[in-house]
Amino acid sequence: MEKIGKEKSAVEKGAPEKSAVEVATFGAGCFWGVEAAFRQVKGVVSTQVGYAGGHKSNATYKEVCSGNTGHAEAVEVTFDPARVSYQDLLDVFWENHDPTTRNRQGPDVGEQYRSAIFYRTPAQEAAAKASKSRLDASGRFRRPIVTQIVPVGPFYRAEEYHQQYLEKRGLSSCHIE
């Protein structure tokens, strides 16, 4: 997997044809930093932040933050599998947050900050479960991984001011180091 410098986004200007792309969805804490991490990866065509895994239709940021929707802040990653694999994206996911903390990443606390892989296909489900098992067996973490691996269900795009939030403001990533 090839990454580029933190100052630039790898998101492609000349995107491949629609049929050549796949979509992956991840929750790993505050979606601003998670999105910034995925936008660094060559082969990522586009990203959008939003809400997944809950029961409230057309959820808003205010509603999600209330804790009453069941949604996680999530990033939908559209990628070209000829340039970056789903496994590569799983690696980015694991590297950019602490999957052993339930409903918390850094100073952000609440169900909306949970660690989750929202799969879209049986192949994504199998890859996510195998990846989690390998990471658990590696001994990298002293605590068990609490990441949910669940079907994506509806994804609700977040308000426009959340899209590419860090990039638009020239800020550095806010993910856990």
Task: Provide the pLDDT for residue 9.
Answer: 54
- Give the active site residues: 30
User: Model's pTM, two decimal places?
Assistant: 0.85
Query: How buried is residue 109: exposed, middle or buried, by Cβ count under 10 Å (0-12/13-18/19+)?
Result: exposed
Say if CB 173 and CB 166 are below 8 A apart.
yes
Q: Nearest Cα to 82, choosing from 135, 19, 6, 145?
A: 19
Helix (H) or strand (E) holding 26: strand 22-28
The confidence band for 165, taking pLDDT boundaries of 50, 70 and 90, is low
Residue 14 has pLDDT above 70, yes or no: no
User: Could you give the dihedral angle defined by the CA atoms of residues 85, 41, 108 and 61, in that order, rounded to the nearest 10 degrees?
Assistant: -90
The confidence band for 108, taking pLDDT boundaries of 50, 70 and 90, is confident
Residue 17 has pLDDT above 70, yes or no: no
> What's the token pair of residue 54?
């809950």
User: Could you give the dihedral angle defined by the CA atoms of residues 131, 136, 137 and 141, in that order, rounded to the nearest 10 degrees?
Assistant: 130
Helix (H) or strand (E) holding 99: none
Question: 14-21: long-range contacts (C-beta < 8 A, 24 or more apart)?
Answer: 15/45, 15/46, 15/80, 16/45, 16/80, 16/82, 20/80, 20/81, 20/82, 21/45, 21/78, 21/79, 21/80, 21/81
73 or 173, higher pLDDT: 73
Task: Provide the pLDDT for residue 16.
Answer: 55
Residue 19 has pLDDT above 70, yes or no: no
Query: Structural domain boundaries of the chain?
Result: 18-169
Multiple choice CATH, 18-169, 3.30.1060.10, 3.20.20.100, 3.40.30.10, 3.30.200.20: 3.30.1060.10
Q: Residue 132 carries which side chain, given as an amino acid letter?
A: K
Task: Provide the pLDDT for residue 176.
Answer: 46
Task: Provide the pLDDT for residue 4.
Answer: 45
- As a whole number, mean pLDDT of residues 32-51 equals 93
Task: Provide the pLDDT for residue 146.
Answer: 96
Q: How far apart are CA 175 and CA 36, in angstroms?
A: 9
